[in-house]
Amino acid sequence: MNLKCFELTMEDGWALLEMARPEKLNVLDEGVLRELHQILGTLKEQKIKAVVLTGQGKAFAAGADVAAMAEMDSQAAQDFSRFGNKVFQEIEDHPAVFIAAVNGYALGGGCELALACDLRWASTRASFAQPEIGLGIIPGFGGTQRLPRIIGATRAKEWILTGRRYSAQEALAAGLISQVLEPEVLLQEATKLAQELAQKSGPILAIAKQAIASSGTGVKESQGETEARFFAQCFETEDGLEGLQAFVEKRAPLFKDR
């Protein structure tokens, strides 16, 4: 795979995916999104279970390409938003667990990219914002939908309507991220987590993601039934039965991702 915007390193069950345009602060344009879409397919084909997503240089990703957006008409803007939403939804729906290791600026589309990941860790140098309101637009890659789910509607309105920038500690307090680490250890610790997840059953990780994603939909009475359905799927896998049997036999499970 000939990559221009990313660097991809695949190890035993996990991968490191780096946005590799530090001179452009890893800005997200159509070319980046198309390459990311291609990479997501490869990760699925290779049965990668955990992915550390980060950015090279001083930015995780400093938003979408404003210069390109300034040339768009309404139809082009809608197409751009739809495609960005499609790719980010692929991350959310992907069987692998995505860990955003936010090393610097996560602004606009960069913040939305982090929101699409399953877990978000940040360095003390990281900062987050949805600054689109200052450009006379709104978030277009899922920010208005995911941010309220993650930090609550009231906080999300403050973030989106003011466009203010927030530090890693403020993002931690809001519940946007779960860890704040020193810059020199962020990638190391995120990699350790990916390696830990790679020891789990891939099918069961994917089922767990689907079950959690379903928690915000449907009426309360049906959510127990939804979880029961996903729970039952675990028992249709070899790994589910192996994990239970291993516990009974007081040994480590030998997962085969089946």
Q: Looking at 112, 236, 242, 249, which residue is catalytic?
A: 112
220-234 and 202-213 are packed helices; what angle lies between their axes, rounded to 10 degrees?
180
Q: 6-197 — its CATH code?
A: 3.90.226.10
Domain map of the chain by residue range? 6-197, 202-248
Of the candidates 239, 243, 244, 240, the residue with the CA atom closest to the CA atom of residue 253: 243
- pLDDT value at position 135? 87
Read off the DSSP letter of residue 28.
B
CA dist 157 to 73, 115, 129, 174, 180, Å?
A: 26, 15, 12, 13, 24
Active site residue 112: yes
Q: Looking at 11, 23, 132, 196, which residue is catalytic?
A: 132
**C-alpha to C-alpha distance for 14 and 194, rounded to whole angstroms:** 6
- pLDDT value at position 220? 45
> What are the mean pLDDT values of the chain's consecutive 10-residue runs (258 residues total)?
94 97 95 97 97 97 88 86 92 97 96 97 98 89 92 96 97 98 98 98 94 69 59 74 77 85
**What's CA 190's distance to the chain center, in Å?**
13
Active site residue 132: yes
**C-alpha to C-alpha distance for 87 and 33, rounded to whole angstroms:** 7
